[in-house]
Amino acid sequence: DVVMTQSPLSLPVTLGQPASISCRSSQSLVHGDGNTYLNWFQQRPGLSPRRLIYKVSNRDSGVPDRFSGSGSGTDFTLKISRVEAEDVGVYYCMQGTHWPRAFGQGTRLEIK
Amino acid sequence: EVQLVESGGGLVKPGGSLRLSCAASGFTFSSFTMNWVRQAPGKGLEWVSSISSGSSSIYYADSVKGRFTISRDNAKNSLYLQMNSLRAEDTAVYYCARDYYSFDYWGQGTLVTVSS
């Protein structure tokens, strides 16, 4: 099974500063159809998860453009260009290439 | 507007059974793979099961294989999760999620507590 490893697990950030979360998979996430099904989710306190990014770098509708995803193969990154107060929560990467689906452990973003 | 509403959670004793439902609206339910994802209290997200649009392909996490059964009724726009032989470690909020290049819409979740 594919294992997803995120770092850091805790991320204190000053408002207005950038933030970056790394996600590594134990095997390549390139699907046989040529796509890479790596996704990022945000879970604000007390709420259901919300998808931010799909297929590595595609932002979902309504997601601010300060969020961006990049990477390939086994190494991926979620970047927030300028952190805002509403970004507090836990961020998860998830691979949708292989069965079983797998999430990373989560990265808790807090305001310093 | 896409809406997913889970129901059926509650308190159940170890070894007991529970059936979760997810009512979908705002999209053509029969065209999408659907999923169950759970989250134990204070823990991360865990994928549980997926079912293709026509129910021809079904997948389970090893942790629930043989105990849980996913199903759907496209005429009723509903997704189900039959959970048998429940264990304390199944205690979690269970979310249903639509699949469009992964989980693009989520419900609000339903809490399942397994305790004596």
Cα B10 off chain centre by: 14
**Is B59 within 8 Å of chain A by CB?**
yes
Question: How would residue B99 be classed by pLDDT, with cut points 50, 70 and 90?
Answer: very high
**What integer pLDDT is reported at residue B69 of this predicted model?**
98
Q: What is the mean pLDDT of residues A42-54?
A: 98
Taking contacts as CB-CB distances below 8 angstroms, the residues of chain B near A51 are 102-104
Contact B106 A48 (CB under 8 A): yes
Give yes or no for B1 touching A (CB within 8 A). no
- Residue A37 near residue A95, CB atoms below 8 Å: yes
List chain B residues with CB under 8 Å of A69.
Answer: none
Q: Judging by beta carbons within 10 Å of its beta carbon (0-12, 13-18, 19+), is residue A12 exposed, middle or buried?
A: exposed
Task: Tell me the per-residue pLDDT of A19-38, one tens digit each, with 9 for 90 and over.
Answer: 999 999 999 999 999 999 99
Mean pLDDT for the stretch of residues A79-106 = 98
CA A69 vs. chain centroid, Å, equals 7
When pLDDT is cut at 50, 70 and 90, the band that residue A78 belongs to is very high
**What pLDDT is stored for residue A40 in this prediction?**
98
CA distance B83 to B94: 11
Query: Apex CA A89: angle with CA A13 and CA A60, to 5°?
Result: 105
pLDDT of residue B29: 98
pLDDT in tens, B8-51: 999 999 999 999 999 999 999 999 999 999 999 999 999 999 99
Residue B30 DSSP SS3: helix
Question: Is B104–A41 a contact, with Cβ atoms under 8 angstroms apart?
Answer: no
B65 falls in which pLDDT band (50, 70, 90)? very high
Residue window 42-81, chain A: list those with CB within 8 Å of chain B: 43, 48-51, 54-55, 58, 60
- Give the C-alpha separation, A105 to A107, whole Å: 7
Among A37, A39, A43, A48, most B C-beta atoms within 10 A, so best to mutate, is A48
